[in-house]
Amino acid sequence: MVSKIIKDSDIRWDIFRALLPFFGTIVTPSFLKRTQEYISGIERVHPLIEGIYKPKWSKYALSIASMQVNPYSDKLEYLNDGRWRISYSAKSGGTHIAQNKALVNCMTDKEPVIVLLQTSNDKRLGIKYRLLGLGLINHFDPVKEQFDIHHIDSEFLNRFGNGVQEKLLVEYSMREAAFEEFHPFVNEEKAIYKVSKVKREQSFKKIILEQYDHSCSVTGMKFKYNNIVEAQAAHIKNL
């Protein structure tokens, strides 16, 4: 049993490392359901059949999805330290159900879970999801039947290791900070990942252009051809 738990964790962290460049980005249903077509070695991130995804090979839930239209009362909020938390509803039927039990196992063993947020439910324009990143389950409320899930902190970021380039960790942190709600007074000591100014600025242009879909945030104009992009990334200052 111990060897199986270790194997579970190893496989999961291999998946987390492979997904690191995509955390914080908008992805399509096909990316989530047929991930092997995009990333070798990962069958799927989530089948999008129901909210909680527990692979057959694991005792843990790999990912959860919060849909725009569902019978549950999920609630996402952004914290003053730049991270997020989500109150996520359990599947009806109690904690003995496989999906709920898989989340309880994540909570007990402090195994992170991938959190997905549906951002568009319009089939004409394309159904989209934001791959929020990794969350840790802190608590389960049996009365409300909700899991309290918090965005991972810097200690868990350090677990990526194993050859993961630091620039990927920088981009991951900046990408997630780019879509959070604005907080004018953020405690800098609680930043999710600390790096030098030089390394941070190296990733700034890439992340900002990515978040604005290579378009001007003022006029909405866009010009992108292959690797040629007309838009530039810049800080906006009020004079």
CB-CB contact of 172 with 207 (8 Å): no
Per the domain annotation, does 192 fall within a domain? yes
Question: What's the pLDDT at 1?
Answer: 44
Same structural domain, 205 and 172: yes
pTM for the complete prediction?
0.72
Same structural domain, 128 and 170: no
Same structural domain, 222 and 117: no
Per the domain annotation, does 109 fall within a domain? yes
Question: What's the pLDDT at 173?
Answer: 60
pLDDT averaged per 10 residues in sequence order, the chain, 239 residues: 63 90 91 96 95 95 92 84 87 92 96 94 88 94 94 73 59 56 43 47 55 60 58 54
Per the domain annotation, does 237 fall within a domain? no
CB-CB contact of 31 with 175 (8 Å): no
Question: What's the pLDDT at 15?
Answer: 94
d(CA 60, CA 7): 12
The last residue of one of the domains, among 98, 122, 157, is 157
Question: What's the pLDDT at 235?
Answer: 52
The last residue of one of the domains, among 125, 157, 189, is 157
Same structural domain, 116 and 208: no
Same structural domain, 122 and 219: no
138: tokens are 């802190």
Same structural domain, 6 and 115: yes
Same structural domain, 220 and 130: no
Question: What's the pLDDT at 71?
Answer: 76
d(CA 147, CA 100): 9
Question: What's the pLDDT at 101?
Answer: 97
Same structural domain, 91 and 42: yes
Question: What's the pLDDT at 165?
Answer: 55
Same structural domain, 143 and 184: no
171: tokens are 């981009």
CATH number of the domain that residue 28 is part of: 2.30.280
Question: What's the pLDDT at 9?
Answer: 86
Per the domain annotation, does 76 fall within a domain? yes
Give the CA dihedral 212, 213, 214, 215, nearest 10 degrees. Answer: -60
The last residue of one of the domains, among 157, 177, 208, is 157
Q: Supply the range of the domain harboring residue 171.
A: 166-229
Domain count, the chain: 2
Same structural domain, 151 and 208: no
- Strands 84-89 and 75-78, sheet pairing: antiparallel
Same structural domain, 88 and 203: no
Question: What's the pLDDT at 70?
Answer: 79
Per the domain annotation, does 236 fall within a domain? no
Same structural domain, 187 and 221: yes
Question: What's the pLDDT at 78?
Answer: 84
d(CA 119, CA 122): 9
Element (H, E) at 231: none
